[in-house]
Amino acid sequence: MEKREERNVAETTARRRQLADAAIATLAREGMRGLTHRAVDRTAGLPEGTCSYYFRTRQALLRATVERLVEVDTADLAERPAALGRSSDPAEVAEAVAEVVRHWATSEGERTKARYELMLEAGRRPELRAALDKAREHYHRLAETTLAAAGAADPAAQAQVLIACMDGLMFRHLTGADPLSGPPERLGDALTDLLRGFAGRRG
């Protein structure tokens, strides 16, 4: 009986993740207006009614989508230890951050577009804002840890600047306003200067 319950929990968790991933894809492709339970079912290739079974309300679906974004983003960062406070070398940290920016703006651009859709919608929906505020606090803690390890003078305040810089680079790439082009090391060098500035160091 216990093993059966564990299997049921695992299956439910896997299905919820599948639907959240489909919601991310739907948001990126169709925007917030196109995000419906039925559209998520279609994207996931599941029978109609599956999404509404696991997520009874739109709010529950949106909250699960935010949580899934945080989960996969954090997994990406874990593959780059220097971006999670495991290095005191500004150049090494900058290189890891640059890799994250390029990854999220290109191969994971769909996920980033979905995040921006949710951020815009949160301005109109206080209930969604609560979920995004929790996510924001998570990202800020990670950034603070990274900056503290790199010797930043005020990690708490400078974390907001670093995150805004990353978001701005990705947003401008995804909208075509300012694509990430040129040698990869150029972005890393610019971020190295930023991190050294945070620490009050030059050169």
Q: Coil, strand or helix: which one is 176?
A: coil
Q: What is the mean pLDDT of residues 115-129?
A: 92
Contact indicator for 196, 150 with CB cutoff of 8 Å: no
Per-residue pLDDT for 1 more than 70? no
Q: For the segment 78-105, what is each residue's pLDDT rounded down to a tens digit? A: 999 999 999 999 999 999 999 999 999 9
Q: Which domains does the chain have, with CATH numbers?
A: 58-198 (1.10.357.10)
Residues 6+ apart with CB under 8 A from 132: 66, 118, 119, 122
Q: What is the mean pLDDT of residues 116-133?
A: 92
| Percent of the chain residues past pLDDT 70, beyond the cut | 98
